[in-house]
Amino acid sequence: MQEALANGVAHRDWALEGAKVRLFLFDDRLEIWSPGRLPPPITLERLGYDQFSRNRLMARVLVERGYIEQVGLGIRRMRQEMARLRLPEPEFREDGFSFVITFRSIAPREGVAPVTEPFRALLERGETNERQYRGLTHARERGTIARRSGRRRVILQTWWRRACSR
């Protein structure tokens, strides 16, 4: 999921002013919406095979900060990690002016206790840090990740920018 969020920030279309990377948590799935459709020459069919970086500077910063392991491997890593965990492959689609990644949940496997606190499990496995855990928990409870900054609200996009600048 960290890879998908980082990709959402790195590859979003910054020309779409006011648009934000959004995370939606449903009972049966998690969706990450990134502003901007896939840039040519990338297609849904070639996703994960062809490489293109719309925002090379942003991608480099995310690599340097440890949010992305290596430029160009994000989609493949997501697919591999889901397979390793025996979870459904992530789904990719374009919807309006957004690129959407969907992670589907599955019914608990026999002999495996259901995860009652999925974000805690990510933290315990070292896949998120404490700050990301708090942000995800906050988003689940309130439907958004936001902080007050004077009178204006700063949403997920700024949260990521600040996290990357440290």
Tens digits of residue pLDDT in 57-97 = 888 888 888 877 777 677 888 888 888 888 889 999 999 89
For residue 52, count other CB atoms closer than 10 A to its CB.
13
More confident residue, 3 or 96: 96
Q: How far apart are CA 47 and CA 39, in angstroms?
A: 11
Q: Identify any residues that bridge with 59 across adjacent strands, giving them in sequence order.
A: none
More confident residue, 156 or 35: 35
Q: How far apart are the first and last CA of the chain?
A: 21
Fold of 2-164: Heat Shock Protein 90 (3.30.565)
Q: Taking residues 33-47, report their average pLDDT.
A: 87
Provide the pLDDT for residue 33. 93
pTM exceeding 0.85: no
For helices 2-10 and 56-64, the axis angle rounded to 10 degrees is: 150
Q: How far is the CA of 113 from the CAs of 49, 61, 104, 117, 123, in angstroms?
A: 35, 38, 18, 11, 18
